[in-house]
Structure 1
Amino acid sequence: MCGKAIGHSSNFQRHQQTHSGERPFTCSVCGKGFTQSSYLLTHQRIHTRESPFICSLCGEGFNRLSRLLKHQRIHTGESPYTCFTCGKGFNRPSKLLTHQRIHTGERPFTCSMCGKGFTNSSDLLTHQRVHAGERPFTCSVRGKGFTRSSHLLTHQLVHANQRPFECSYCEKTFKSKKDLLTHQRVHTEERPFTCSVCGKGFTQSGSLIQHRGLHTGERPFTCSKCEKRFRSSTHLTKHLRLHTGERLFTCPECGKRFRWIHLSSQLVEHKRVHTGEKPFVCSMCGKGFTMSSQHLTHQQVHTEETPFTCSTCGKGFSRSSTLQRHHQVHTGERPFLCSKRGKGFTQLSHLLRHQ
């Protein structure tokens, strides 16, 4: 059939099953078929929950020896699979393959609903829950649902008031190691995620994905109230609170309420008004800022950089938000409408002054 040479008759018989599709060894629980009895025995451990391969360091059990060997690399720190682009090491070849897509920009797993691409299938499945409204991981305290179990675990630290990960530069604490590593890039100025179009660097891959929308013009998330479009679902969620008036988070000092709390949140930034903290300092002139975004925008005063260019008239801007407002000059778009007179405005602040 294929001309492949096989050394032993038993191996030849198993190989022929590749062409015939024959799977003579069947699981009595779920009916799944296998080409070899050893594969069936390994599979049955899923149903029996048998884990005969035990890690001697932490006691965790596995149903396959290969999974135990992969797990042990967590303890030894062994990362034999290295990225040739940035030198980062991984303990599994599959993780290296997924990582390399950050450099190549490849996103082979595409959402059929909005066209958004992902580097791995698990991220796509998690994303599809956004469209389905599915949030299978629920907080037992407040009943809030999450699309990922890791998001639930991080959320539960809010109730436990735990922030176990401390920054070695400024002693700020975080609920997760991922948040700490992202924060530390503020101090190290590391920006490992680079735009292939304009060369701008970002501390998070998600920020790079959103930034690419500036070049492509893609805005797949639409507000059901005013039809304004956004590059990310988080921006849409924040925007919807403008319509609902929802303000979930309260400042303990002055009682002011805010719509959003997260990394670089409104509430965290507002608290610096009371503390006087300005953690983001310009290396050129020493001026301090309460927000990293203000710091980055300020630095363009020294560099005279205007990375955001209008595709219609060629005018350059230091901020993407300023470019977006400028576009409305050409399109005539006025998305903020007065509920009484129907007059439109290009900015929310203009509408609020009018009201």
Structure 2
Amino acid sequence: MEPFWYASHSVLPNKRNPSAGDQGESSITTQKRRKTNSESPLNKNPHVCEECHISYVYPSQLKAHKRTHTREKFFPCQKCTKQFQWIGGLNNHIRTHTGERPFQCTGYRDNVNDTDCTASFTQKSSLNTHIRTHTGERPFQCTGYRDYANDTDCTASFTNQSSLNDHIRGHTGERPYKCRNYTDYKDCPAEFAQKSSLNRHISTHTGERPFKCTGYTDCFAEFTEKKSLNRHISTHTGERPFKCTECTADFRCNRDFMRNIRTQW
């Protein structure tokens, strides 16, 4: 049985809508849905949110929804200082401590290393996004915006809704992730288009660097992001998994690999 806030309010996965159940909707779609929900004559749900006018059948559903506005976090991690609004978010986070990655990629090749792909993930949505890098599917398309660099309509497409949302903010200039709304630093004016950028910024306040290099003698390096830790570990292992097929160069990280590719266009 789905949690009550899923069953009554969230968009559930379905085969006709590839974006449903992935990593959220665009703010435009969400606003349209809210307006439709609140104005429909068939909507007789008595418990209405004063902030956005979404209504619910049961008061417990409304109470759960209000957390999206207040950002109250009732589920703390016992291993670190992070807290979460939902138990699902906490469960996903705990896997970063335990190392559990139950969602495994099977049946695809790792073209970088020319082996069967053995990638695994803490969340099903992350696995779905990864599989699209094998299939080439990019179902989340940018529509209605101009690509001013090339003076054409923007045709960018992405493997997940979250990446599309981040891209659209590049068109609109929206920066919804404000430091003052997510932390106790109410005087901080910093705001960002992406949640990952906000998280990086918050670490400058807290000094937290949760990703630590372990297993190597005398190395005490620690980082604010997992990808930075992975890049660092490759300096120990000597691994350079990103190999260019146009030349003989190979690289430790995708960023340097892509920079090399652009020089050959």
State TM-score, norm by structure 2: 0.60
Give the paired residue count.
Answer: 204
Contact map agreement 1:247 1:257 (CA 8 A) in 2: no
C-alpha displacement at 1:253, in angstroms?
Answer: 0.6
Q: Which position in structure 1 is the counterpart of 2:123?
A: 232
1:138 positional shift: 5.8
- Asked whether 1:321 is paired with 2:227, we answer yes
Relative to structure 1, is the Cα distance of residues 206 and 168 closer, same or farther in structure 2, using a 3 angstrom cutoff?
A: same
Deviation at 1:167, TM superposition (A): 7.6
Gapped regions of structure 2 (runs ≥ 5):
3-12, 39-47, 111-117, 147-153
Letter in 2 for 1:257: A
Q: Could you tell me how far apart the structure 1 residues matched to 2:109 and 2:88 are?
A: 26
TM-score in terms of structure 1 length: 0.47
Give me the whole-angstrom Cα distance separating, in 2, the residues matched to 1:304 and 1:270.
29
**Rounded Cα–Cα distance in structure 2 between residues aligned with 1:213 and 1:288:** 29
Find out whether 1:247 has 2:131 as its counterpart: no
- 2:86 maps to what in 1? 204
Match of 1:257 among 151, 156, 160: 156
Amino acid across the alignment from 1:349: R
Matched residues in 1 for 2:90 and 2:248: separation?
A: 37
User: Are the aligned partners of 1:241 and 1:259 in contact in 2 as well (CA < 8 Å)?
Assistant: no
Q: Which one has a bigger Cα radius of gyration?
A: 1
**Once the 2 structures are TM-superposed, how far is the Cα of residue 286 of structure 1 from its aligned partner?**
0.9
Residues 311-333 of structure 1, C-alpha deviations (whole Å, 9 max, x = no match): 23332212233223333333444
**Secondary structure, counterpart of 1:296 in structure 2:** helix
Aligned position for 1:217: 99
Distance of 2:131 and 2:66 partners within structure 1: 31
Higher relative contact order (CA 8 A, sep 6+): 2
User: SS of the counterpart of 1:162?
Assistant: helix
Aligned to 1:305: 208
8 Å CA contact retained: 2:141, 2:158: no
The match for 2:171 is: 274
> Is the 8 Å Cα contact of residues 222 and 236 (structure 1) preserved in structure 2?
yes
RMSD: 4.0
Change (3 A) 1:290 1:339: same
Match for 2:91: what amino acid?
I
Instruction: Name the aligned partner's letter for residue 196 of structure 1.
Output: Q
Q: CA deviation at 1:198?
A: 1.6
Identity of aligned residues (%): 35
The Cα of 1:184 is off from its aligned counterpart by: 5.9
In 2, Cα distance between the equivalents of 1:188 and 1:236? 30
Q: Give the structure 2 partner of residue 348 of structure 1.
A: 254
Gaps of 5+ in 1: 1-121, 124-136
Local SS of the residue matching 2:214: coil
Q: Distance in 1 between matches of 2:258 and 2:53?
A: 36
Deviation at 1:242, TM superposition (A): 2.7
Distance verdict in 2 for CA 1:348–1:222, change over 3 Å: farther
Which residue, 271, 295, 318 being the options, matches 2:198?
295
* Cα contact 1:238–1:259 (8 A) shared by 2: no
